[in-house]
Structure formats: structure tokens, C-alpha cells
């Protein structure tokens, strides 16, 4: 009976202790799992939302860039007087002849697919891409916008086939009167495919059915060879998709959102063995209507699978550790119960076995000592196998227990740590006073603000380096004095991951800022200066507010500094032109690789008096394998570089390459608009502009206009061919430039006609001297690829103010004088009223 009673008591004791522990453990594990899962879902949702915004910003930037290129092209086209005259006279045949070569170049260079001419009432006169179709009235939003604003107007238009076209319309005005409109357009489906490639996401375009006609749309999809089903979605049709099959059920959920509603995130879409998260981007046409929705599917399969594996691993480790601890406590309770039973039995038999009491007592002490030794050994093995540091502190603040993980984390062996003051050993000096101030209260009551909580603090390693830790503190009463127990974990890797996410966000903002800087009509130097300021202010990196941008000199192995911030004057002179391979920036240009030094290395060849220790990042600015320049950023001496920092700075350089190419393209367009493409001389438009400027400067003593026509050019062109004629025109332009000053202007008016503006010609002898120099220069034989030939020229001269007070009169009179000189040939003639 007594044995049964002991067993029941033992079972009752274990039940009372273990059941609450098991329930509490399950509850704590469930709550922790819920919060971890919820946090992961929020992070995934934020990532998808940010990627959706990044894609929307990327698409908008590309559309703005293409709109600017088309508007610049329209302005250039509108300067063609023959084409404007044909538009004003509504001569379709002339329009087609003049615009067809332009359309071919625009199609090849900028992917322009639509080219229109409309009259002042928006009635189409000519579709260059479809000449047989004309006469309809154009009521698109872009045409109406250009009519209303009397300025270029660009935007997206939805076609009847469910495709999107970016259109730019320019009103054409002649002598203050609107004579018609010129319109360019290009399909933007390629942008969607480019975004699919860049962002590695799947994209679907849903177009509202109310903006389409079913029969027209189905016929268009059949013509384009795309799959189609009008009734697949209730309110939208699927116009484009990057996957061969579409997740219809998920798209139906997006189609249920009414047009105009903000983008939202849809989670856990199971499709074709993958798990996707989706975001929605509204697509507005030029009239501000949301005519379509761009749905972005982000493949989260690998990320979700990895999260599930991590959670499963965490659950397994927690279960094993919990089971081990419970078994340990179960065994300890069993031994304690057994000891109590033995003690009770010994007391009952004390009277009977008084003679053997001493021997039994000794044996009992030996047994208890052995059990205690075994218990301590097991505890030490368990604590040694733990991945977290377990540290015990006595009432005096000294370390009383230090496991193997603590040795690994802090670098102190157990023999070095035991007995040392905990706060002096592992707490950084700047935080030590705060910890010591709260310690007396813990000594008295075992209470403290940090007890019972999990905190993130800073600890110090044996080598002096600081690192972040996560610590859970508790207190226990031993021999009437309070002792502390702490479980610490090194969270450096987790903090590093958080830092990488923050750096990525900073870099994305910097890239957006650089792209936005390039949008206004600024020069390349202004754009690079502003971009350099943005790069040097990146909060994620420790860059100094000093740096520069070099560009490759065209056709040379040389860098030219075009933008800088806070560089000394001595360095500006030494680094103005830098050959490839010289100093750090030249070596980066030569190797096409990032060059980094955190000190004044011997390869830092360019130095000056008073130079201070510093480091450099020299990043090549590359575009499709071609070197455009070098980004030079200063860092403090001793700066520690890593691959993440280099990768992000390389991304910044790639973005600057996009900006540089864009600005160079804009400058090339401006040059084409004002210079003759064959000779490089100013064209007719720039000649008139400079002549007007010269006449506006009233302080000048005089101004002379020369009109030059080559003699015998037609015979050379007819006999040797147009290619030789072009070579002759280029050589003639070089000889004319050699006969005038830098302040004078030589222009090509067309064909074999040239003009010259001589400024500050005080006497007629100075103009005659230039005319004689020109005659002499052009009388010299020309070498046309091995063929020698001779030409001459006839020069007509008109002087301001004697022969005219305005540019039109001066040019007309110079032309008249040239025809008089043409009678004799190879001479010059002044204008005469006779």
C-alpha cells in the first residue's frame, strides 16, 4: 500500500509540474509562429508593393523619354520649309515624297511606326505609313490636346485592336496662322516586354471592354496571331501576356476592381506549380481615362518554400530542445522523489538499525554526491551544445557560469571569464555606467527594467570589436541572494540583412533621382553635376562630399573632367585631361573594372602639395560594352569596401550611362537641326539666325554678306558621280573656313551654294581681301580620291548698311551680285543699284 501511495504521489507531482509547462510551451510557440509568419507576409507585401511602384516609375520614365525624342523630331521636321509649304498647300504627293525618307530614318533609329499630316481642322491629309488611307477627321485625345494648347502634346492612345500607341502631335504655324498638324507614334508593347525582362516578373494587360468593339478586337487579335477570348473575363479582355497560359481566376479578382481604384496586392496565387504574388498598375490614356490595367505577377515560390523550410527547421530544433529539457526535469524529479522515499524509509528504520546508521549515512552521501556529479555533467553537456551563450552572474556582478557558445561569441575561454565582472568584460564602456546604475536595485530585490524581456543591445568582443546581440534576462534566488541568468545570441547577420535592404531602398531612390534629373532641358554638364551631388549624398555609404565625373573624349584614349565637386584647383588643372592608364581614374578606364584604394597608393600618380590621406572609388560608366566615362568618388582613409557597396555603385554608374546616352542623343538632334550633315557647316536656318544677331549689334562698324556659287561643280558631279561631289563639297568647306576669322560665319545654303558673314568690316578693302583669298584657295586643284580637278567660284558681295538694312535685303542683293559675277566666272562683284 505504501509503495502504491508513493507511485501515485510521484505521478501527481510530475503531472502538476509538466502539464502546465507543456501547455505554456505550446501557447508560446504558437504565438511566436503566428507573429513570425505575419511579419514575413508583411515584408513580402512591402517588397511586391515597392516593386510595383518601381515598375510604374520605370515605364513612366521610358514613356517620357520617348515622348521627348518624338517632340524633338517633330520640331526638326517642322523646320523643313518645303515640307511646311506642301502641308499648307495640301499637296499629298509632295508631302509623301518629302516625308517618306524621314519616316524611314525615324523608324530605324527610334522605332516610330506612325507618321501623319492633318490640316487645320484635323482632317487627315496623309498617313505616311499607310498612304492610301486619308480624309478622316482625327478626334484622338492627343490631337485635341495639341489643338487646345497650341503646343506639342503627347500621350498614350488605345487602338481598336487593344494595342497601345504613344503619340506626339505638333501644331504647325506659318506666319502666325495654324496650317495643320504633324503627328508621330510608336507602339509601346516592346516596353512591356522590356519590363518583363528587366524586373523578372510576369505581366498581363487587361483592357476595359467598354473601350473596345468585340468584332474589331477579335479580328485584330487573329491578325496579330495572339490567343483571344472575349468572354474569358467579365469586364476586361486579356490583350497581352508574358506567360503562355494566364491565371484566369486570379485575373478575375483584379477585373472586379472598378477602374480608378489604387493598386492593390493579391497574395498566394497557385498557378502551374508556382506561387505568385500580384500587383496592379493602372494604365491611363492621353485623356486621363483608365483604359487598362497592368497586372504584375511576382514568383514567390522559392522564397515561400525557403520560409517553410526555415519554419520547419525551427520547429524541429525547438521540439528537440524542449523534449530534452523536459526529459531532464522528469529525471531530476524522479531522483528527488526517490531520495525522499529513501530518507523516509531510513527514518522509520532508524531505531532498528542504529548500529548501521553511520555506515548507511556514509553510503547515502556517496550516492548523492555521485548523482549530483552526474547531474552537473549532463547540464554542462546540454549547455555546451546550445548555440546561444548562457551566462550566469552572482550577486556581486561576477561571472559564475560561461558555456562553450559564450566562448565562441565573445572570444574568452571559460577560465578567462569566470570570476570577472560581467559589465566590465562584455559591455562597451559608453554603456557601462547605465548598467551599473541599475545593478544595486537588482542586488536587493532581483528586479529590473530589462528582466523578463528580449532586448537588442551592443556587446564587445575580446578583440575590442562591437557587435549586436539579442539577450533574454532572468533572475533566480540562490542561498538568499539574487543571481542573474542571461541567454545571448549574436545577431550580426540579421542586422546586416536589414542594412542591405535599407541600402537597396536608398539606391533605388538615388536611381530615380538621377533619371528624373535628366528629364528637364538641361545641358549634359548640368545633369552630371546634379547627378554627382545625388550620388555623393547617398546615406547608405560613407562617401565624402568630393568627387568628379569624366567622359571619354570622342575618338581618343583620353578622359575629360566635365563635372566635379570640392576638388582643389591644383587637381582641376592636373586632371582636366587624363590619358587611359594614368592615375586611378585612367586605370579604371583602361581596365573597364572598378578601382578601389583606401589610402594614397603608389598607383595614385597625380599628387599635389598638401594632399591629405583619402581613398577612391573609380567606377567605369559603361553602356553595352562601350566606355562612356568614369565616376570618381572620395572615401575616408581606411574605408572598408565590400561587394555590396561595389555592386550598388556599379548600378549607379549604369544609370548615369543611360542619362549620358540620352543627353548625347539630344545634343546630336540639336546639331542635326542647325548644321549641314555633309560639311558640318551651319545650315540655312543657323545662317539666318547669326545674320540677325550680327545686325542687332549696332556698335559694329560694318557687316558684309558674301554669296558664293561654285563654278563647274555640275560637270564634276555628272561625270565623277555624287560621291565625288560630296568629297569636293567637304574640301571646299574646309578651304572656306581657312580664309575667314573665327568670329566670321561660313554656311552652306544647299547644293553648291555657300554664304559668308564678315563682322566688323570697316572698309571695303577688308572684304575684298577675303574674297581674293577665297578665289585663290578654290582655284587650287582638288584631289578627289586620286583624281585631280579644278573649279572656281563666283562671289556676290553686299555690305551693311549701304546695300541693305535687314537680313533679307542683304542676302537678296548678295545673290544678285553673285549672278553678275557668274557672267565672267571666277571673280567677285559688289552689289550695285544699277
- Give dist(CA 77, CA 68) in Å, integer: 14
Lowest mean pLDDT among 197-201, 314-318, 334-338, 728-732: 334-338
Instruction: Give 769's pLDDT tier (boundaries 50, 70, 90).
Output: very high
Rounded mean pLDDT, 527-545: 79
Residues with Cβ < 8 Å from 418, sequence gap 6 or more? 399, 400, 401, 402
- In tens, the pLDDT along 607-664 reads 888 888 888 899 999 988 888 889 998 988 888 888 888 888 888 888 888 888 887 7
* Amino acid 339: pLDDT: 76
What per-residue confidence (pLDDT) applies to 320? 86
pTM for the structure as a whole? 0.39
pLDDT of residue 767: 87
- Exposure of 764 by Cβ count < 10 A (0-12 exposed, 13-18 middle, 19+ buried)? middle
Within a 10 A sphere around the Cβ of 495, how many other Cβ atoms? Answer: 13
> What average pLDDT score do residues 245-259 get?
70
Dump the DSSP string for 436-463.
Answer: HHHHHHHHHHS--TTBTSEEEEEEE-TT
Give me the pLDDT at residue 1, please. Answer: 47
pLDDT, position 260: 41
Residue 809, classified by CB atoms within 10 Å of its CB into exposed (0-12), middle (13-18) or buried (19+), is: middle
Confidence bin at 162 (pLDDT 50/70/90): confident
Task: Check: CB of residue 310 under 8 Å from CB of residue 301.
Answer: no
* pLDDT reading at 553 higher than 80: yes
Q: What is the DSSP letter of 388?
A: S
The predicted structure's pLDDT at residue 259: 46
Q: What angle do CA 305, 306, 307 make, to 5 degrees?
A: 90
Higher pLDDT, 198 or 701: 198
Question: Which has more confidence, 154 or 439?
Answer: 154
Of residues 168 and 15, more confidently modeled: 168
Q: Taking 50 as the threshold, does the pLDDT of residue 190 lie above it?
A: yes
* Spatial contact of 795 and 708, defined as CB atoms under 8 Å apart: yes
Is pLDDT above 50 for 2? no
Instruction: Give the contacts of 493 (CB within 8 A, at least 6 positions apart).
Output: none
CA distances from 542 to 76, 91, 123, 359 (A): 46, 64, 60, 76
* Residue 471 · residue 454 · CB < 8 Å: yes
Q: What is the mean pLDDT of residues 237-242?
A: 79
Given this model, what pLDDT does residue 14 score? 59
* Rounded-to-integer distance, Cα 30 and Cα 463, Å: 40
pLDDT at 287: 84
Kindly tell me if the per-residue pLDDT of 7 is higher than 50.
no
Question: What's the pLDDT band for 438 if we cut at 50, 70, 90?
Answer: confident
Helix (H) or strand (E) holding 653: helix 643-674
Task: Give ∠ CA 654-190-295 in degrees, rounded to 5.
Answer: 95
Provide the phi-psi class of 431: left if phi over 0, else alpha when psi is between -120 and 50, else beta.
Answer: alpha
Looking at 10-24, 119-133, 169-183, which range is the least confident one?
A: 10-24
Read off the pLDDT of each residue in 707-713 and give the average, rounded to a whole number: 93
Model confidence at 795, in pLDDT bands (50, 70, 90)?
very high
Q: Does 263 score more than 50 pLDDT? A: no
Phi, psi of 491 (to 5 degrees): -110, 30
Residue 261: per-residue pLDDT: 40
Q: Report CA-CA distances (Å) from 557 to 384, 554, 578, 786.
A: 63, 8, 9, 31
Split at pLDDT 50, 70, 90, the class of 506 is low
The whole-number pLDDT of residue 370 equals: 75
> How far is the C-alpha of 775 from the C-alpha of 343, rounded, in Å?
133
Bridge partners of 173, per DSSP, are 178
Predicted confidence at residue 819, as pLDDT, reads 93
| Dihedral of the alpha carbons of 589, 595, 597, 602, in degrees to the nearest 10 | -40
367-373 long-range contacts, Cβ below 8 Å, gap at least 24? Answer: 368/339, 371/335
Residue 547: CB atoms within 10 A of its CB come to 22
pLDDT exceeds cutoff 50 at 186? yes
Q: What is the pLDDT of residue 262?
A: 42
Return the higher-pLDDT residue of 276 and 503.
Answer: 276
Report pLDDT digits (tens) over 737-762.
999 998 899 999 988 999 999 988 77
Residues 185-189, mean pLDDT to the nearest whole number: 84
Amino acid at each position: 500500500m505504501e509503495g502504491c501511495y508513493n507511485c501515485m504521489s510521484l505521478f501527481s507531482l510530475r503531472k502538476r509540474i509538466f502539464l502546465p509547462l507543456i501547455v505554456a510551451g505550446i501557447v508560446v510557440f504558437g504565438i511566436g509562429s503566428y507573429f513570425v509568419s505575419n511579419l514575413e507576409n508583411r515584408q513580402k507585401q512591402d517588397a511586391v508593393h515597392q516593386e510595383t511602384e518601381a515598375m510604374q516609375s520605370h515605364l513612366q520614365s521610358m514613356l517620357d523619354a520617348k515622348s521627348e525624342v518624338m517632340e524633338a523630331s517633330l520640331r526638326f521636321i517642322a523646320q523643313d520649309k518645303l515640307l511646311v509649304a506642301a502641308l499648307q498647300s495640301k499637296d499629298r504627293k509632295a508631302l509623301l515624297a518629302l516625308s517618306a525618307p524621314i519616316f524611314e530614318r525615324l523608324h530605324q533609329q527610334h522605332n516610330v511606326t506612325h507618321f501623319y499630316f492633318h490640316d487645320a481642322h484635323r482632317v487627315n491629309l496623309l498617313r505616311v505609313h499607310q498612304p492610301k488611307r486619308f480624309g478622316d477627321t482625327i478626334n484622338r485625345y492627343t490631337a485635341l490636346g495639341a489643338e487646345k494648347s497650341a503646343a506639342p502634346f503627347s500621350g498614350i492612345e488605345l487602338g481598336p485592336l487593344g494595342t497601345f500607341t504613344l503619340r506626339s502631335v505638333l501644331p504647325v504655324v506659318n506666319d502666325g496662322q495654324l496650317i495643320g498638324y504633324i503627328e508621330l507614334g510608336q507602339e509601346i508593347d516592346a516596353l512591356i516586354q522590356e519590363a518583363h525582362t528587366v524586373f523578372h516578373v510576369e505581366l498581363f494587360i487587361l483592357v476595359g471592354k467598354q473601350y473596345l468593339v468585340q468584332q474589331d478586337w477579335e479580328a485584330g487579335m487573329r491578325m496579330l496571331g495572339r490567343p483571344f477570348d472575349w468572354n474569358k473575363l467579365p469586364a476586361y479582355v486579356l490583350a497581352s501576356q508574358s506567360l503562355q497560359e494566364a491565371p484566369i481566376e486570379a485575373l478575375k479578382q483584379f477585373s472586379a476592381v472598378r477602374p480608378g481604384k489604387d493598386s492593390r496586392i493579391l497574395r498566394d496565387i497557385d498557378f502551374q506549380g508556382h506561387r505568385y504574388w500580384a500587383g496592379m498598375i493602372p494604365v491611363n490614356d492621353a485623356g486621363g481615362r483608365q483604359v487598362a490595367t497592368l497586372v504584375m505577377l511576382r514568383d514567390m515560390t522559392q522564397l515561400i518554400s525557403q520560409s517553410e523550410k526555415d519554419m520547419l527547421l525551427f520547429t524541429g530544433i525547438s521540439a528537440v530542445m524542449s523534449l530534452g529539457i523536459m526529459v531532464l526535469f522528469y529525471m531530476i524529479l524522479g531522483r528527488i522523489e526517490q531520495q525522499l522515499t529513501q530518507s523516509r524509509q531510513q527514518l522509520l528504520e532508524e531505531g532498528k538499525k542504529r548500529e548501521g546508521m553511520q555506515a548507511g549515512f556514509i553510503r547515502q552521501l556517496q550516492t548523492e554526491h555521485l548523482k549530483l556529479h552526474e547531474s552537473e555533467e549532463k547540464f554542462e553537456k546540454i549547455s555546451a551544445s546550445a548555440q546561444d551563450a548562457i551566462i550566469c552572474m552572482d550577486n556581486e556582478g561576477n561571472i559564475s557560469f560561461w558555456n562553450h557558445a559564450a566562448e565562441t561569441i565573445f572570444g574568452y575561454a571559460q577560465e578567462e571569464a569566470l570570476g570577472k565582472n560581467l559589465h566590465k568584460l562584455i559591455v562597451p564602456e559608453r554603456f557601462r555606467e547605465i548598467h551599473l546604475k541599475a545593478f544595486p536595485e537588482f542586488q536587493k530585490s532581483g528586479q529590473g527594467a530589462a528582466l523578463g524581456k528580449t532586448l537588442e543591445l551592443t556587446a564587445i568582443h575580446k578583440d575590442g570589436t562591437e557587435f549586436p546581440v539579442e539577450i533574454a534576462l532572468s533572475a533566480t534566488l540562490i542561498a538568499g541572494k539574487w543571481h542573474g541568468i542571461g541567454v545571448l545570441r549574436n545577431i550580426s547577420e540579421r542586422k546586416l540583412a536589414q542594412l542591405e535592404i535599407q541600402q537597396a531602398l536608398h539606391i533605388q531612390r538615388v536611381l530615380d533621382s538621377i533619371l528624373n534629373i535628366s528629364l528637364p532641358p538641361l545641358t549634359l554638364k548640368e545633369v552630371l553635376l546634379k547627378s554627382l551631388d545625388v550620388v555623393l549624398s547617398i546615406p547608405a555609404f560613407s562617401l565624402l562630399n568630393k568627387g568628379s565625373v569624366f567622359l571619354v573624349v570622342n575618338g581618343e584614349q583620353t578622359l575629360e573632367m566635365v563635372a566635379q565637386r570640392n576638388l582643389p584647383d591644383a587637381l582641376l588643372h592636373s586632371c582636366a585631361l587624363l590619358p587611359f592608364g594614368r592615375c586611378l581614374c585612367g586605370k579604371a578606364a583602361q581596365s573597364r573594372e572598378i578601382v578601389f584604394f583606401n589610402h594614397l597608393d603608389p598607383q595614385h600618380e597625380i599628387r599635389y602639395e598638401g594632399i591629405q590621406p583619402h581613398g577612391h572609388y573609380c567606377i567605369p560608366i559603361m553602356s553595352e560594352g562601350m566606355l562612356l566615362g568614369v565616376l570618381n568618388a572620395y572615401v575616408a582613409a581606411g574605408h572598408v569596401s565590400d561587394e555590396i557597396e561595389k555592386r550598388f555603385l556599379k548600378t549607379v554608374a549604369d544609370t548615369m550611362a543611360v542619362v549620358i546616352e540620352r543627353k548625347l542623343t539630344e545634343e546630336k538632334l540639336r546639331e542635326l537641326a542647325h548644321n549641314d550633315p555633309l560639311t558640318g557647316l551651319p545650315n540655312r536656318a543657323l545662317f539666318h539666325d547669326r545674320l540677325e544677331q550680327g545686325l542687332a549689334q549696332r556698335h559694329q562698324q560694318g557687316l558684309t554678306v558674301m554669296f558664293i556659287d561654285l563654278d563647274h561643280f555640275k560637270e564634276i558631279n555628272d561625270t565623277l558621280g555624287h560621291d565625288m561631289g560630296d568629297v569636293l563639297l567637304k574640301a571646299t568647306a574646309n578651304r572656306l573656313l581657312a580664309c575667314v576669322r573665327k568670329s566670321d560665319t561660313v554656311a552652306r545654303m544647299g547644293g553648291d551654294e555657300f554664304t559668308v558673314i564678315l563682322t566688323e568690316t570697316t572698309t571695303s578693302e577688308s572684304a575684298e581681301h577675303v574674297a581674293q583669298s577665297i578665289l585663290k584657295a578654290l582655284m587650287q586643284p582638288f584631289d578627289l580620291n586620286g583624281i585631280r580637278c579644278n573649279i572656281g567660284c563666283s562671289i556676290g558681295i553686299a555690305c551693311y548698311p549701304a546695300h541693305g538694312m535687314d537680313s533679307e535685303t542683304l542676302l537678296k542683293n548678295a545673290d544678285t551680285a553673285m549672278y553678275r559675277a557668274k557672267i565672267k566666272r571666277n571673280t567677285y562683284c559688289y552689289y550695285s543699284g544699277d
